Amino acid sequence: MPHLVVLYSPNVEPATDMGALCRQLSDTMLAQRDDAGKQVFPTGGTRVLAFAAAHYAVADHQGDYAFIYLNLRMAKGRPAALQQRIGEALIAAVREQLAPVFGSRPIGVTLQIDEGHEVFDAKHSNLHPLFGPPV
């Protein structure tokens, strides 16, 4: 954790580089610091995944409308002000990366952050040791 899942209509692919967007979002997540200056998200646990929707309908279906939906799922316990800063940093990164798209087509972007009460949370990873102790 954290995992940022990006779901999008495939009609945005010709106008943007989804791989670059994923990398920028990951870099943005890894750059987040709490009030004590500590890295918020563990490097080895940070994931950004993007999927084109196989089927979709946007608005009234009368135009070639597009969407990008981003959902950040993170473990509970972070202060609301920090969650707000994280959201603002992520939406700023999206706006920067997608500026050319907004200039060329109608598109809706939604970013949501979920902090959940897990009823089951299992992890199995050998990534964390590559980056030092978990933050």
> pLDDT (tens digit, 9 = 90+) per residue, 21-35?
999 999 999 999 999
What average pLDDT does this structure show over 47-71? 94
Q: Show me where the domains of the chain are located.
A: 3-130
Q: Which CATH class is domain 3-130?
A: alpha beta
> pLDDT (tens digit, 9 = 90+) per residue, 91-106?
999 999 999 999 999 9
What distance in Å separates the CA atoms of residue 36 and residue 38, rounded to the nearest whole number?
6
* Those residues with Cβ within 8 angstroms of residue 48's Cβ, 6 or more apart along the chain or in another chain: 3, 4, 6, 22, 23, 25, 26, 29
Residue 135 has pLDDT above 70, yes or no: no
Residue 134 has pLDDT above 70, yes or no: no
pTM of the full structure: 0.88
